Structure 1
Amino acid sequence: MQHDHRRLGRELDLFDTDRLIGAGLPYWLPDGAVIRHTLEEYVREAERRAGYRHVYSPVLGKRELYEISGHWSHYAEDMFPPMELGGEQVVLRPSLCPHHALIYRSRARSHRDLPLRMAELGGMYRSELSGVLGGLTRVRAIQLNDAHVFCTLDQVAEEARAALELIRRAYRDLGITPARYRLSLPGPGGKYVAAPENWRRATALLTEVLDASGLEYQAAEGEAAFYGPKIDVQVADGAGRESTLSTVQVDFLQPERFGLEYTGPDGAAHRPVMVHRAIIGSVERAVAHLIEQHGGAFPTWLAPVQLAVLPLSAAELPDAEGLVARCLDAGLRAELSAPDRGSLGARIRRARRVPYQAVIGAREAAEGSVAVRLRGGRQVHGVPADELIARIGAVVAGRGADLWP
């Protein structure tokens, strides 16, 4: 069954838009914000475990910054116009890499510091044409899961391989199946920086990584970044339309343009290589794909509400409120669906996409148990409240798909 995230996202109160905010500028509603926050925390923890250090950088930069990086001459048509500020021109950034290059340059670096892995979940802005905007997949304000690894030439292949493995592991946890892997190469025209030797070296390194991974991939001309080739992980929606979700890129250009250096074992100055990578790409596009893939019935660890508690009548309300409080204390996302919200059947139907429903009647209240309804229809009666909390906690911690292992 095909799901359109634009329709389903609004139906489930995940996100919306308003003409006074503008096209391509969606806002997140509470349930959508839960998914986004959970996804961001997952990425930060995965990066932390992989040796990345997180930074924050401004969403603005002087026009000069993007002239140095090459964005102004090769990417200006996708950028918002400059703003006059104190006699200078500042620009909403179209990417995070120039800021990270400056952070690297701000301190003296030794070969002992490399590889230096720098990550940020940061905002960037693209001046997309109104005709291509839609839902969360094509937007003008983007929250990007971005990272840059500054390393020696000998370290590039291993860092790119490790980045690709991070992406594949995240896809397994999220239940995402790539449509294909693509080696994106330059095409004809003036979009690309003229540096043949850098392109040759970067392409050879990424080809080596893909060949060693055992993954099938296709080369595609005209899909590279303006400064270098990249590995693109493609996903497809229900209609078969492809988009890029994750990338790994090798960049010799920006270290040269920004004059980045490190002191080698010989005491001389050397130029690092910059590996760009995004595990889930933009948070907006990742959530759009997850909405469509799961039809709004998210895995338990991502679900906005993990447990709906349904007391049969007002008499069981105190027990239900107590169960919700215990779940919240255990770090679970639980909500009360009180009797005044309709009949039990109506409340069960409204919570059909919630992984777990706990029904409490007079018998359950007396026994300190619940009747559990799992998403999909299975029922388990007489489950002690402590056991239910522990089971849900274990499924969340393991990011499991089986609701009752």
Structure 2
Amino acid sequence: MYDHRKLGRELGIFDSDPLIGAGLPYWLPAGAAIRQALERYIADVERRAGYQQVYSPVLGKRELYEISGHWSKYSEDMYPPMDIGEEQLVLRPSLCPHHALMYRSRSHSYRELPLRMSEIGGMYRSELSGVLGGLTRVRAIQLNDGHIFCSLDQVAGEARAALDLINQAHHDMGISASRYLLSLPAEDARFGSPDSKYVGDADSWALAASLLRDVLDGAGIAYDEAPGEAAFYGPKIDIQIEDHAGRESTLSTIQIDFHQPERFDLEYIGADGNKHRPVMIHRSIIGSIERAVAHLIEVHGAAFPAWLAPVQLVVLPISSAEEKVASDVLRQAVALGIRAEIAYADEGTLNARIRENRHAPYQAVIGPREAAAHQLAIRERSGTKHPAAPIKEVLDRIAAEIR
């Protein structure tokens, strides 16, 4: 595996500056292209799975996090409140309280459930400087977050569907989980008291853990139990990855929460005409964009899957005489949504330019013969070479393969 902290900077994916601050990397053009491709991908996956995408503010009043339980159980990892007039505003450490309020803003019938809400949104963690590094441990995070509001009898099916989405996304990204964890409360856990680590009651925790265990067992997935690793509001499935040094971290997660629906007084009208409390499932398909990209760099190096590659097609005119045709190819490629660049003849010999751009999924060589016939000869990253074919035909095929 590669070290993303070194390679990511060399590839122009991200960098940092002391004037911005530790744990606050910025995205360079290549990184922005990867990030945008991931965001488009996950938005499409979620839309097809019945999620409604939303946007919410990165700030909230301190009172919001007092209600959710974050202030009493998680404030050490939050930034201090900002005094604005008579209010105290806080950079949010998670998106779930905002989504709970969005659900509460409208009345809901059992016919609407499960209601699936998703967002790629910013959140902020007050990480100590000693643990920060590259894109894996940062202070400003773009999280692929989602919350499902459902009835109790829908929980297992929705959690299993979320697990299926996670596994499919990992496959499409070309990554593999190192292991699955069932993260549980500590073995000596106490629940509900002001000085305890966990909110709620023992019965709801046991039920949530049992439901998640059934999901993993039903999917035939081997997993380890991890006492003490649960969130303060509920147990969770954590899908782990390893970095180049063998260090493990969580990329994707599924959590069952009986606490916040109670705290925010969430309701739906059941088939019996009475009010009922929904269950809240937290799930993140690809985790934070930062950690996902860090892992993609470490797994793939510079050779990203075609749909994620910052530059998907490099056009190589053999000489300056073919550069006009190369510019036309670039224009057509960009119009088809292909991320393309030209490696001009004055940048080196053809062989040198081919080596320099070897990580691009596709290279299109244009010599006098191809220029005269308005054709492209494609070389794939794998080494496969294709005979020259009409420009439109070649570009349509590349766009289709990327899609």
Q: Which residue is equivalent to 1:113?
A: 112
Cα distance in 1 for partners of 2:247, 2:168 equals 23
**Counterpart of 1:38 in 2: which secondary structure?**
helix
Q: Which residue is equivalent to 2:295?
A: 289
Q: Which residue is equivalent to 1:206?
A: 212
Which aligned pairs between 1:244-283 and structure 2 lie closer than 5 A? Answer: 244-283=250-289
Q: 1:319 corresponds to which letter in structure 2?
A: V
Q: Deviations over 1:56-81 (max 9, x none)?
A: 11000000000000000100000001
Cα distance in 1 for partners of 2:88, 2:270 equals 37
Cα distance in 1 for partners of 2:72, 2:231 equals 13
Cα distance in 2 for partners of 1:350, 1:79 equals 44
Q: Deviations over 1:188-230 (max 9, x none)?
A: 5632225111101100111111111111111111111110000
Which aligned pairs between 1:87-98 and structure 2 lie closer than 5 A? Answer: 87-98=86-97
**Counterpart of 1:335 in 2: which secondary structure?**
strand
Which aligned pairs between 1:154-303 and structure 2 lie closer than 5 A? Answer: 154-187=153-186, 188=188, 190-303=196-309
Shift of 1:236: 1.3
Per mean C-alpha deviation after superposition, the further-off stretch among 335-344 and 114-123 is 335-344
Contact 2:200 2:259 in 1 (8 A): no
Q: Which residue is equivalent to 2:360?
A: 354
- Determine if the alignment matches structure 1 residue 149 to structure 2 residue 148: yes
Cα distance in 2 for partners of 1:247, 1:69 equals 19
Structure 1 gaps of 5+ residues are 398-405
Cα distance in 2 for partners of 1:219, 1:296 equals 35
Q: 1:243 corresponds to which letter in structure 2?
A: S
Cα distance in 1 for partners of 2:200, 2:171 equals 38
Cα distance in 2 for partners of 1:82, 1:59 equals 13
Cα distance in 1 for partners of 2:166, 2:341 equals 33
Aligned length: 396
Which aligned pairs between 1:389-404 and structure 2 lie closer than 5 A? Answer: 389-397=395-403
Q: Which residue is equivalent to 1:400?
A: none
- Determine if the alignment matches structure 1 residue 67 to structure 2 residue 73: no
Q: 2:81 corresponds to which letter in structure 1?
A: P
TM-score between the two structures when normalised by the length of structure 2: 0.96
Cα distance in 2 for partners of 1:168, 1:298 equals 19
Shift of 1:385: 2.1
Shift of 1:11: 0.3
Q: Which residue is equivalent to 1:47?
A: 46
- Determine if the alignment matches structure 1 residue 315 to structure 2 residue 321: yes
Contact 2:123 2:143 in 1 (8 A): yes
Shift of 1:256: 0.5
Q: Deviations over 1:260-309 (max 9, x none)?
A: 11111121111110000000010000010111110121011111111100
Q: 1:273 corresponds to which letter in structure 2?
A: V
Shift of 1:110: 1.4
Q: Deviations over 1:84-127 (max 9, x none)?
A: 01111110000000000001111111111111111111000000
Shift of 1:370: 2.5
Per mean C-alpha deviation after superposition, the further-off stretch among 248-257 and 368-377 is 368-377
TM-score between the two structures when normalised by the length of structure 1: 0.95
Q: Which residue is equivalent to 1:327?
A: 333
Q: 2:64 corresponds to which letter in structure 1?
A: L
Per mean C-alpha deviation after superposition, the further-off stretch among 183-192 and 57-66 is 183-192
Q: 2:209 corresponds to which letter in structure 1?
A: T
- Determine if the alignment matches structure 1 residue 363 to structure 2 residue 369: yes
Which aligned pairs between 1:336-355 and structure 2 lie closer than 5 A? Answer: 336-355=342-361
**Counterpart of 2:168 in 1: which secondary structure?**
helix
**Counterpart of 1:310 in 2: which secondary structure?**
strand
Structure 2 gaps of 5+ residues are 190-195
Q: Deviations over 1:321-347 (max 9, x none)?
A: 111111112221111111222322332
Shift of 1:377: 3.2
Cα distance in 2 for partners of 1:255, 1:312 equals 64
Cα distance in 2 for partners of 1:150, 1:228 equals 15
Q: Quick one: percent identity of the two aligned structures? A: 65
Q: Cα RMSD (Å) of the superposition?
A: 1.2
Q: Deviations over 1:357-381 (max 9, x none)?
A: 1111112212222232221433334
Q: 1:7 corresponds to which letter in structure 2?
A: K
Cα distance in 1 for partners of 2:230, 2:216 equals 16
Cα distance in 1 for partners of 2:110, 2:253 equals 26
Shift of 1:44: 0.5
Cα distance in 2 for partners of 1:35, 1:138 equals 19
Shift of 1:239: 2.5
Contact 2:110 2:270 in 1 (8 A): yes
Q: Which residue is equivalent to 1:403?
A: none
Cα distance in 1 for partners of 2:62, 2:264 equals 14
Cα distance in 2 for partners of 1:335, 1:96 equals 38
**Counterpart of 1:219 in 2: which secondary structure?**
strand
